[in-house]
Structures are given as structure tokens and as C-alpha cells.
Structure 1
Amino acid sequence: MSIVDRNGGFGETEYFDKPVIYDPISESSFDISGKWSKRVELGPGLALIVTDVTFPRHFVVRFDIERAPLLFCFILSGKARSTINHGRGGKTSIDGNNGTSHISFFPKSRGVSEFSAGTPARIVHIQLDPILLSTLLHGEFDDIPPDFYAAVEGSLKSRYHCSGIMTPNLQIALYQMLNCSYHGLTRFLFLEGKALELVAFQLEQFLFSRKREKSPQVLRQSDIERIHEARDIVIRNMKQPLSLMELARQVGLNEFKLKRGFRRVFGKTVFGYLHELRMERSRLLLEEGQMNVKEISYAVGYMDSGRFSDAFKRQFGVRPSLYYKNKSFSYSGGRGSLLP
């Protein structure tokens, strides 16, 4: 059931609180607002929810949670704001912006998630039962920070949230998941594996790597903005990359701060990021089938197609020539394979 509210300060607002159900075997769905969100039950304690929509009006989803799962959230586009009420008047507000990811755990809580009108929202959620995560970790909790340990234990009194910028590893895994070309049980297993891979990448970024850092240095907002500018320059100059010295000069940072800050923000070195960018771009060009291997190697910045072939094999486990000929290696089935 939906309720339209024209007096709430946002203009026309639409509310929904019904669940979304998706059957990964038959690939049929029952959704709550005209095919905008799908839920995939991947197994006991593990579920995938994908939202892809541009709402015509301010949109609010209400939720009421008793025993919460651990929630891993990835915002590929758009913005969302969640307001969570919990325990003795406590309230937490979470702003989810384009390119960010989040881990949260809020048992015995209720609240709303809000989406702006006219802004495309493409968001992936993975729900993971704390008991399942504990089982997957085989009881090895030494690397888990204390504030997250209570959530893994499933304590109804604990609250947890952390967020950050999505790393290249997360972006690639999300792309592969959303463009799954498999069907039936193979599709089911592929999605389950990718969901757990995303959980692993996010835990490494937010929790395990932070635990290993002895004296993390806080980056100023101005430095973070310059590091994002450096990333954009790397993307624009993929074919003819700048030297680290020149890149640092263009964004107004010294080399040391750029190297350290880039790894902190994106989880990769500058040239590690460039390498993954080239590999993913070349894989997409191979799947399009409009260029041969030599042309693609030039297009992504390799003057020697042999070196490109070696790099591609290290990244994907197969030579680009074989990938080009045999599309069974393809991860991509088109944007509509999981979503409408």
C-alpha cells in the first residue's frame, strides 16, 4: 500500500512499506512500485537487493526492524538519506552519496529512507546474518575492531555504521554482478559468490586494513578533493598517463601526500588504479567486438600488444585473443540481465 502526502514539506511524497521478492531461479519478481527494486534470496542469512529507479516524486520507504541483519550498501548513483530511531530516543542520520559504500547494523529500530525526485538511484544492498558472518570468519575475531565485534555477535544492544568511497575492486565486482549473463542455478551461484566477494572487499577496506594501520593520518577535506581531482586526471589520460610528479603538480600536492592519500581514499596506488582501469576498459572493448586485440591495446595505452596480453592474462586468467573469440568468458550480459 502507498500513501501520498502533499503536506509534509517536500511537495508530493510517496510512502511504501511492503517487501520486495525476487526468485533467482525463475527470474520473476514481485515488486512494490512498478519494477524498481528486486530482492534475491541467495541462501540462509544472505540476500541481495538491487534498486534502479528515477522517482517521479520525493519517495520515502518506511522500515521497522527487530533482529537486524548486517547491511552492506553500495550507492552507484543518486543520493539517499536514512533516519533511524533506536533505543531511548536515540537517532542516527546517514547520508548516502554517489560512489560511497556503507556497513550498518541497527537492531530494534525503525525509520525512513528518503529519495529525491528526478534523481536516478541505483543502489545495491547485501543483507548478511551476523551468525553467517561469524561462521564464515571461522571464529577468528582478532582483526575485528571492538566496535564491530558486538555487531558480529548479533547483540540487540549494539549499533554500528561506517562509510567510505568505493574502491576499484568494489566497482568492478559490482559491475560484474549487475551484468551477470548466467541463468538458473549457475546464475544463483555466481551472484552468491559476488555478494560474498563484495562483503570481503568492504570489510578489508573499512575494518581489517584500519586495524593494521598503526598511526593513520587524517586527510583534510581539501586534500580529499584534490585526490579525487587526481583520479579524474588519471581517467582522462589513461592512454598517455602523466608521471606521478606531474600529476602531483597539477593537483597541488606533493608526491608523498598524493601517493599516501590516493591509497587511503581509493585503496590502490595511482598506477595500480590506472592498471585496473585499463584492464576493465579493455575487457569491455573486447566484449563489444568492434576492435581487434592490437587496436584495443593501443586504445588503453599499451604500445606493445604482447605486454598488454600478458597484463590481461594476469588480471583475468585468460589471453585477450581467447577472450575475444570465446564469449563464454564474458562477465557481461547487458544492463538488463539482473534489473529491468
Structure 2
Amino acid sequence: MILNLTTIHELFDQFTRMVEGHVQQTNWEQRLTIPSHIGKGYVTRTRIRPGMEIMITDITFKEDMKLQLQESCQLFELSYCVSGEMNHEWNGKRSLTDSKTGNVTFLEDVRVYEEKKAGIRNQLLEIRFTPDELLYYAGDLTEKQKMETWLRHYRGNIDRYPDTPAIQRCISDMIHCTHLGSMKRLYMESKALEFIALFGESDEYGSVGGSMTLRHDDIAKLQQTRELVQHHYEKPLSIRELAKRVGMNEYKLKKGFRELFGMTIFELVRQKKMEKALLYIEAAQLNIGEIAASVGYSNASNFTTAFRKQYGCNPSEYVKQINQLVVERNRLLNGLN
């Protein structure tokens, strides 16, 4: 099922139509009850104002829920998974979200493949807003430019952010809010802004543009991380697993890796997969779909996008170049004979 989202507010509405659920509605809040054949649970959407909303999901699906989300609008999202398991795939990248995981997302004109596992209670809180909603709080031009730099750091990605006790308390307060009516709306808005501020604090917003000081043992751990990534690129280890294996917190691992090696862990995984794909193209008689599957891409278009980013052309164009070189080489050999 494909959901085409031209504004941040369309996700709830289109999902409601897709599952044909029952909605209870006030002027600014809607609660969708999931039909029994889909599963058990609900989704609540609180519209704070145009360009900003909060969604709280608590659903146990009977079957895996697979969606394709075409984000045709600018979306900046902070989410927190209390429980559950979700997989995302976009532009040749992958992300696994499980319990006690927070993600920051900044996408525009991107198709995201999302899968939520059946039989597991999926509890998720999402604060969805446009970048302009954040830039509204910039006090002057300098602060606005700083915020824009901060946003660009996440463009095109779904990244994990550092989890803190303060963020966990804020999430719990929002999920278990007991206020009603206008007081609930005010409370949820204040908590959403608190969440954004706590995220900025944990993400070291005040040091945007600065570099991280890496000690000798940090560098050794990051080099160990690169070796693990290169060894396991066909079945990539999660950031959480990598951090656990090398003994480094997830935030420092991600930021330190980017600073030391000039690329993210996801970009290194993609690079290794594309190197293998190149070998398949040059040495094996496989079609593009087979090559995509052989390097771990369930979707050929995502593979094509990743290949083009790595080599500057589509796989089919590269195959034509290879075939042309073979023809020219044979012609030259025949001429010599």
C-alpha cells in the first residue's frame, strides 16, 4: 500500500482510510480505533497547529504491516519507540527501530518502505513538523542559520538520537497525559516543545559545526567498528549492536565515525554493497533485479538509486558501457588477427 503525503498532516488521514477504522474526533484531536481484522489498538493524532502535530500509536497487528510512504513534503520528525519493532528502507539505506529507541528524521520527496512486525505491541510517539515550525523560534539571522545547519545535518536520513532519562520522562508524560480539552492541547504542545529542546540538548546543538575530540582509545574503537561493518556489510549490524561490541555509546560512535572516516556507517555499508554489485555486473550474467537481491536490496529502484550515487550512472548504463568495451575489444582483436 502506497501513501502519498503532500503535507505532514496526511499520514493519519490516509492510514485511517486504508484500514477503514472508526474515528472519534474533536476540533483538534482524532482517535482511530483499529478494526479487529487488522489488529488491536489505536492511533491518536493531536493537531497543534498547521505544520505541527503529535501522533501516539499503540497497536498490535495481526499480520506484518507493510507501507510505502511517499514523503512529498518537508518533514522533520522526532519519534520514540516505547515498544515494538519497525524496519525502514529508503534511498538504499536501512534502519531498525526497536524498544527504547529514538529516531530523528528529515525527509523530502523520498519514498520510505516501512514494516511493523505482527504480534508485537507497537507503542510509538511522533512529533511531526515542518522545518519552518522550528525556524520560527530563531531569535535572529545568526540563530536561524545555526538551526538551518543543524537541520541539514539530518537531511535525507533516519538517525538515532541519544536517549536520556529526561527524554524518557517527557515521553511518559505525553503518553499518560490526563488533562482534557484545551488544557490537554496546551499541555501536549508544551511537552512537544520540551521534547525538541531536550533532543537539541542531547544532540549537543550548542556545538553545531564543531568537531568531537577523539582520544586514542576512541580512535581504536572506531577503527574496530569499521572492521566490523566491512565484515558484516551483507547483514549489517545495528548501531546498538556495534556500540555494544566496541564499548562506545551510540551517539559518540555515529558522530566520531563520521568525523574520523568522512562518511556515516550507513554510507560505508552502501559502499561495500555497491563494490560487490560491481563485481556481479562485470563477472556474472545476472539481471539488475537479481544483482539488487544479491547485495541485500529488496527493491530494485532503491538499489539503482544507491548505485547511481556511488558510481554516477545507473546499473543498466554501466552494463551497456561494459558490453561496449567488450565489443570494441573483440573488434580490435579480430583486426589484429
TM-score (norm. length: structure 2)? 0.53
Select which of 31, 44, 54 maps to 2:50.
Answer: 44
Q: CA deviation at 1:207?
A: 4.9
- Within the alignment, does 1:148 sit opposite 2:154 as a pair? no
In structure 1, C-alpha distance between the alignment counterparts of 2:156 and 2:51, rounded to whole Å: 19
In structure 2, C-alpha distance between the alignment counterparts of 1:209 and 1:24, rounded to whole Å: 39
Aligned equivalent of 2:15: 18
- Within the alignment, does 1:182 sit opposite 2:155 as a pair? no
Q: CA deviation at 1:23?
A: 4.2
Select which of 81, 84, 87 maps to 1:78.
Answer: 84
Aligned equivalent of 2:193: 196
* 2:124 alignment partner, SS class: strand
Moved over 2 A (4+): 16-36, 141-151, 209-214, 216-222, 261-265
In structure 2, C-alpha distance between the alignment counterparts of 1:262 and 1:29, rounded to whole Å: 35
In structure 1, C-alpha distance between the alignment counterparts of 2:24 and 2:191, rounded to whole Å: 17
Aligned equivalent of 1:122: 123
State, as a whole percentage, how many aligned pairs show the same letter: 18
Distance 1:198 1:105, change over 3 A: same
* 2:136 alignment partner, SS class: helix
Name the amino acid aligned to 1:205.
S
Aligned equivalent of 1:170: 167
- Within the alignment, does 1:69 sit opposite 2:75 as a pair? yes
Q: Number of aligned pairs?
A: 213
Deviation string, structure 1 residues 184-216 (Cα, Å, up to 9, x no partner): 000000001111111111122225155356414
In structure 1, C-alpha distance between the alignment counterparts of 2:212 and 2:69, rounded to whole Å: 39
Per chain length, whose mean CA-contact separation is higher, i.e. which structure has more relative contact order (CA < 8 Å, sep 6+)? 1
Distance 1:58 1:190, change over 3 A: same
Q: Is the 8 A contact 1:82 1:95 kept in 2?
A: yes
Q: CA deviation at 1:167?
A: 0.9
Aligned equivalent of 1:215: 213
Q: CA deviation at 1:40?
A: 1.2
Aligned equivalent of 2:133: 132
Q: CA deviation at 1:45?
A: 1.2
In structure 2, C-alpha distance between the alignment counterparts of 1:166 and 1:49, rounded to whole Å: 19
In structure 2, C-alpha distance between the alignment counterparts of 1:95 and 1:129, rounded to whole Å: 24
In structure 2, C-alpha distance between the alignment counterparts of 1:112 and 1:262, rounded to whole Å: 24
Distance 1:24 1:73, change over 3 A: farther
Aligned equivalent of 1:270: none
* 2:199 alignment partner, SS class: helix
Q: From the two aligned structures, give the one with the greater helix fraction.
A: 2
In structure 1, C-alpha distance between the alignment counterparts of 2:211 and 2:50, rounded to whole Å: 34
Q: Which runs of 5+ in 2 are unaligned?
A: 3-12, 18-22, 229-239, 254-337
Aligned equivalent of 1:98: 99
In structure 1, C-alpha distance between the alignment counterparts of 2:109 and 2:99, rounded to whole Å: 28
In structure 2, C-alpha distance between the alignment counterparts of 1:17 and 1:184, rounded to whole Å: 25
TM-score (norm. length: structure 1)? 0.52
Q: Is the 8 A contact 1:23 1:41 kept in 2?
A: no
Aligned equivalent of 1:269: none
- Within the alignment, does 1:29 sit opposite 2:31 as a pair? yes
